[in-house]
Amino acid sequence: MATVNAQPAVPSSVWRARLRLASRSVRENWGLFVRTRIGLLGLAIIAMYALLAVAHPVLMSTVWEPRIYDPVIGYAFDETKQPAPPSLKHPLGTDPLGRDILSQLMFSARSEFLLGLLAATVTVVIGTSVGAIAAYFGGWVDTILMRLADIMIMMPAISVLIVLSALIGVEHFELALLIGILSGFGATGVVLKSQALSVVVKPYIDAARSAGGGHFHIILVHIVPNLLPLSFLYMMFTVTSAIFSEAVLSFLGLLNVRMSWGLMIHTTESAGYLLQVAEFWWLIFPASLSITLLCSAFYLVGRSLDEVVNPRLRSR
Partner 1 sequence: MSEATNNTQAIPAATSRLLLRAIDLSKRFPLSSGWWDRNPSFVHAVDGVSFDLMAGETLGIVGESGCGKTTTGRMLVRLAEPTEGQVLFENESGDLEDIAHLKGQPLKDFRRRAQMVFQDPYESMNPRRTIFDTVAEPLQVQKIGDHAERLERVSETLGLVGLTPPSSFLFRFPHELSGGQRQRVAIARALVMNPSFVVADEPTSMLDISIRTGIMQLMGELADRLGISYLYITHDLAVARYMCSRIAVMYLGKIVEMGETEEVLQNPVHPYTKALLSAVPVPDPEATRDPIDIKGSVSVPVDPLPRCRFYDRCPIADNFCRDNDHPPLQDKGSGRLAACYKA
Residues recorded for the chain? 316
The least distance separating partner 1 from the CB of residue 209, rounded to whole angstroms, comes to 6
Contact between 121 and partner 1 per CB under 8 A: no
Q: Of the listed pieces 7-15, 41-49, 55-63, 275-283, which binds partner 1 according to CB under 8 A?
A: 7-15
Contact between 4 and partner 1 per CB under 8 A: no
Spatial distance between the Cα atoms of 186 and 199, rounded to a whole number of angstroms: 20
Binding mask 219-248 for partner 1 (x = CB under 8 A): --xx--xx----------------------
CB nearer to partner 1: give 30 or 281.
Answer: 30
Contact between 208 and partner 1 per CB under 8 A: yes
Helices (H), 168-276: 172-185, 187-200, 203-211, 215-217, 224-251, 261-270
Of 2, 4, 6, 10, the one binding partner 1 by CB under 8 A? 10
CB nearer to partner 1: give 170 or 218.
Answer: 218
Say if CB 269 and CB 251 are below 8 A apart.
yes
The DSSP output letter for 70 is: -
Q: How many Å is the maximal CA-CA distance in the chain?
A: 79
Say if CB 200 and CB 136 are below 8 A apart.
yes
Where does residue 98 fall: left (phi above 0), alpha (psi -120 to 50 degrees), or beta otherwise? Answer: left
The DSSP result for 237-260, as a single string, is HHHHHHHHHHHHHHHTT-S--S--
Contact between 156 and partner 1 per CB under 8 A: no
Which residues, 6 or more positions from 305, have their beta carbon under 8 angstroms from its beta carbon? 33, 39, 229, 232, 233, 236
Of 203, 272, 278, 311, the one binding partner 1 by CB under 8 A? 203
Contact between 65 and partner 1 per CB under 8 A: no
The least distance separating partner 1 from the CB of residue 185, rounded to whole angstroms, comes to 24
Contact between 279 and partner 1 per CB under 8 A: no
The least distance separating partner 1 from the CB of residue 21, rounded to whole angstroms, comes to 6
The least distance separating partner 1 from the CB of residue 10, rounded to whole angstroms, comes to 5
Enumerate binding residues for partner 1 (CB under 8 A).
8, 10-11, 14, 17-18, 20-21, 202-204, 206-214, 217, 221-222, 225-226
